[in-house]
Structure formats: structure tokens, C-alpha cells
């Protein structure tokens, strides 16, 4: 029977508070954990961060003291959830290794969402960004080999291939061309809303990490690569956030946030092979069911509608981290040369794109190109991980 979070009982809010010992969960084994377990952890870290940020923004626009107090209580629990989730990450990883894990998560999460997305425009929006994360994974893999003398396969296993995607230097676009056309909240499928919110949350987390961790790197090439790709990440956040209908009320957005957290924790509980990590997902799902109930009450009170009018009657099929190699290769063979123009997509460079490229590239060779050249010079070849035979012909990572 399908799981309907609106009909399930969660953990009462006054029973959700945890002490320091309970929050200090043991990390996964960096050498033996399933790479996709780490992807799930990174995804939920970003989703919880977005939930906290949104709650703060809602509180700043809410005049009702009692509601602000309720938001604060739920937000504190969300912060505890994020702390527990983040503590699952092993503390030995370098910035570069962590970014490889983030990019693997972005590739396989975005590919899954694109494959499942029912709206053609939203699917194209996912596929467009996917090819940029493919290339980011490739750049960080070359950086990893260059400065740490290690292979990215150590991080990604053989679940995700490391191939050049849309070259990173071609990802710098006029900011106006990163704004997409929003979905119509009265017509879009509930699953589409969840995809947009999940991917926006993941992009925010990646961008925030690059901006904060990048300056801590010692090597100039690492600092430069983090800086360059953080600016692309800013574009990705704009890309996804603009897909959401701005006519959604604060209470509808709160409802969607809580429902999405239930969806993701349930998905990961169903697909997680690590029993200890699965226990964290199960516990947090019980908490989120109560958060959803409280959000549904506010939605009924202030929007005057029933949550069933905007939410799916039951959770969609679970979000699944799995290999997407054939899907990615097909996109590389057919869409790698695209850019954006207005709210649509273009097959050829246009005036705004060329002007942006001229300004950005006037600083010399971009770090994303230099890292591949430097690694090729030191290691004898660029780093790739091809598990399904040669990649599509014509993909040239460097100018």
C-alpha cells in the first residue's frame, strides 16, 4: 500500500529534542561505505540546510508571535537533524575529495530526477545542468590526481563514470540567461515541485561549500577551481529557484518543504543498505511527519485549502541513487553543445553569451582548463573513469 505521509503519525514535537551524545553520531567508514550512501548524506545535508533557511525567511515575514515561536521550535529540530546528518560524513576527507562526492551526488541525483520528470521543460532544465555537473566531476577528479595523487574511483567506486561534459569554461553565461520560466502551480504535477525543491537545495549546498571551503585550500590551482565552479553553482541556484511558481504562498511553500523532507527520508530509508544510517533516516522521517502535520494546519488556516489539493495523494516512487551511465552518455552525445538564451535553450553562441565569455575569459586561462593540462603534464594523461567502453566521440575537454 502506498505511503501517505499526511495519514501517518509522527513523533510528537516535544519528544524530538536530542542531547549532545545522541546528535554525535558515528561517521560512515570512508574506505568501505557505499558511495551512494555518502550521496544520500550530502543530499539530506543540503535539504535540511534549505529547510532551516526557508524557516528563517518565513519567520522574518510573519507578524504573529505564536507562529514565529512554533517555527522556531521546529527549526531547532531541523538544525539538530542537519547536525546529525552532517556527522555521518567521515572527517578525513579533503576539500577535493568532498567535492568529488558532492559532484557524484549531483550527477546521479539530477539524472534520476530528469529520468522521472513528467514535464518536458523541467526535464530539459535538469538535463542541461546535469551535463555541467558531469564536467565538474571530471575537473575535480583531475585535481585529485594532480595534488593528492589519488584516483577518483576511490570515492565514486565504479557507480558513476568520470568523463568530460559541457566544458566548464563554456558554463559562464549572462545572468539573465540563467532565469528559467516557472512552472504553473495550478497545473504542475506534485512530483515536479519536489524535483525543483530538491535540486535547488542540493545546488545551494554545493555552492555554499565551494565558497566557504575553497579559500581553505593551499594549492593555487585548487583555490582557483573552487572559485570558478562556485560561480557556476550560483548560476545553478538561480536556474532551479526560478522554476518554482512565485505565486505560491509562504504556507504552500512550507507545506512543500515538509512534504519533500518526508519524501526524501522515506526514499532513503527504503533504499539505504547501511543499517545504522538507515536508522537515522527512519528516525528523521518520524520527526518530519509531525513537522508536516503542523505545516498542514498552518496551510489550512491561512490558505483556506486542504493539503490534498496541492500534494500527491501518496508518495511518488522512492528517489533512488543508482548508476545512470547510459543516460548520461546519451545526453553527452546529443546536448553537450547547448547554452541558454532567455528562458529557453540555444544550440549556438549568441550575443549575450559571447559578451559574457569575452569578459570572464579576459583573465587568462580558466582554472578548469589549467587543472586538466597540469595533470596531463604530470601524470601523462588526463584522468577519466570509463566503465562502459570508450565515451562518445567528439568530447574535447580542453581548448
Alpha helices in the chain (DSSP H): 20-23, 35-60, 65-86, 95-116, 120-148, 153-156, 190-213, 220-241, 250-271, 275-303, 325-335, 351-360, 367-379
Q: Are 165 and 110 in contact (CB under 8 A)?
A: no
Q: Distance between CA 7 and CA 261 in Å, rounded?
A: 15
Number of domains, the chain: 1
In this prediction, residue 398 has a pLDDT band, given cuts at 50, 70 and 90, of: very low
* pLDDT averaged over every residue in the chain: 96
Looking at the predicted structure, is the pLDDT value of residue 192 above 80?
yes
Q: Global pTM?
A: 0.96
In this prediction, residue 397 has a pLDDT band, given cuts at 50, 70 and 90, of: very low
Looking at the predicted structure, is the pLDDT value of residue 394 above 60?
no
In this prediction, residue 216 has a pLDDT band, given cuts at 50, 70 and 90, of: very high
Looking at the predicted structure, is the pLDDT value of residue 324 above 70?
yes
For 277-313, what is each residue's pLDDT tens digit?
999 999 999 999 999 999 999 999 999 999 999 998 8
Domain of residue 101: give its range.
5-379
Q: Is residue 231 part of a domain?
A: yes
Residue 29 CB neighbour total at 10 angstroms: 10
Looking at the predicted structure, is the pLDDT value of residue 396 above 60?
no
For 27-79, what is each residue's pLDDT tens digit?
999 999 999 999 999 999 999 999 999 999 999 999 999 999 999 999 999 99
Above pLDDT 70, what percent of the chain?
98
In this prediction, residue 399 has a pLDDT band, given cuts at 50, 70 and 90, of: very low
Q: Is residue 386 part of a domain?
A: no
In this prediction, residue 91 has a pLDDT band, given cuts at 50, 70 and 90, of: confident
Between 396 and 214, the more confident residue is 214
User: For the residues 194-210, what does the mean pLDDT come to?
Assistant: 98
Q: Distance between CA 57 and CA 375 in Å, rounded?
A: 44
Q: Is residue 99 part of a domain?
A: yes
Q: Is residue 324 part of a domain?
A: yes
* pLDDT attached to residue 1: 63
**Which residues, in sequence order, are bridge partners of residue 345?**
340
Looking at the predicted structure, is the pLDDT value of residue 395 above 80?
no
For 71-88, what is each residue's pLDDT tens digit?
999 999 999 999 999 999
Q: Return the SS3 of 148.
A: helix
Q: Is residue 396 part of a domain?
A: no
Q: Return the SS3 of 340.
A: strand
For 132-181, what is each residue's pLDDT tens digit?
999 999 999 999 999 999 999 999 999 999 999 999 999 999 999 999 99
Q: Is residue 388 part of a domain?
A: no
In this prediction, residue 388 has a pLDDT band, given cuts at 50, 70 and 90, of: confident
Q: Is residue 389 part of a domain?
A: no
Sign of CA dihedral 43, 47, 50, 52: negative
* pLDDT attached to residue 393: 59
Q: Is residue 390 part of a domain?
A: no
For 118-136, what is each residue's pLDDT tens digit?
999 999 999 999 999 999 9
For 345-356, what is each residue's pLDDT tens digit?
999 999 999 999
Amino acid at each position: 500500500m502506498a505511503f501517505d505521509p499526511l495519514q501517518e503519525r509522527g513523533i510528537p514535537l516535544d519528544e524530538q529534542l536530542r542531547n549532545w551524545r545522541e546528535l554525535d553520531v558515528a561517521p560512515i567508514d570512508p574506505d568501505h561505505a557505499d558511495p551512494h550512501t555518502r550521496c544520500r548524506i550530502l543530499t539530506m545535508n543540503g535539504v535540511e540546510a534549505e529547510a532551516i533557511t526557508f524557516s528563517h525567511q518565513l519567520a522574518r515575514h510573519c507578524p504573529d508571535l505564536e507562529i514565529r515561536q512554533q517555527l522556531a521550535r521546529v527549526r531547532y529540530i531541523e538544525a539538530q537533524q542537519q547536525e546529525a546528518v552532517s556527522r555521518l560524513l567521515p572527517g578525513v576527507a579533503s576539500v577535493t575529495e568532498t567535492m568529488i562526492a558532492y559532484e557524484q551526488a549531483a550527477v546521479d541525483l539530477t539524472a534520476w530526477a530528469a529520468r522521472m520528470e513528467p514535464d518536458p521543460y523541467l526535464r530539459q532544465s535538469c538535463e542541461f545542468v546535469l551535463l555541467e555537473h558531469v564536467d565538474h566531476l571530471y575537473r575535480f577528479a583531475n585535481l585529485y590526481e594532480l595534488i593528492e595523487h589519488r584516483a577518483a574511483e576511490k570515492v565514486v567506486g565504479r557507480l558513476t563514470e568520470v568523463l568530460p561534459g559541457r566544458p566548464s569554461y563554456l558554463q559562464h553565461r549572462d545572468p539573465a540567461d540563467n532565469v528559467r520560466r516557472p512552472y504553473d502551480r495550478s497545473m504542475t504535477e506534485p512530483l515536479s515541485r519536489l524535483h525543483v525543491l530538491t535540486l535547488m537545495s542540493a545546488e545551494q549546498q554545493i555552492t555554499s561549500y565551494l565558497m566557504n571551503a575553497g579559500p581553505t585550500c593551499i594549492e593555487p590551482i585548487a583555490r582557483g577551481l573552487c572559485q570558478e565552479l562556485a560561480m557556476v553553482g550560483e548560476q545553478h541556484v538561480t536556474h532551479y529557484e526560478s522554476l518554482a511558481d512565485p505565486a505560491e504562498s509562504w504556507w504552500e511553500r512550507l507545506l512543500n518543504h515538509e512534504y519533500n523532507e518526508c519524501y526524501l527520508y522515506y526514499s532513503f530509508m527504503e533504499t539505504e543498505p547501511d543499517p545504522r544510517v538507515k536508522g537515522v533516516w527512519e528516525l528523521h522521517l518520524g520527526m518530519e511527519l509531525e513537522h508536516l502535520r503542523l505545516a498542514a494546519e498552518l496551510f489550512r488556516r491561512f490558505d483556506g485549502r486542504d493539503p490534498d489539493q496541492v500534494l500527491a495523494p501518496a508518495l511518488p516512487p522512492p528517489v533512488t541513487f543508482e548508476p545512470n551511465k547510459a543516460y548520461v552518455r546519451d545526453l553527452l552525445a546529443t546536448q553537450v553543445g547547448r547554452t541558454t538564451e532567455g528562458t529557453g535553450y540555444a544550440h549556438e553562441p549568441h550575443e549575450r553569451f559571447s559578451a559574457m565569455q569575452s569578459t570572464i575569459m579576459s583573465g587568462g586561462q580558466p582554472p578548469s582548463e589549467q587543472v586538466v593540462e597540469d595533470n596531463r603534464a604530470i601524470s601523462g594523461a588526463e584522468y577519466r573513469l570509463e566503465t562502459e567502453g570508450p565515451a562518445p566521440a567528439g568530447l574535447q575537454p580542453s581548448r
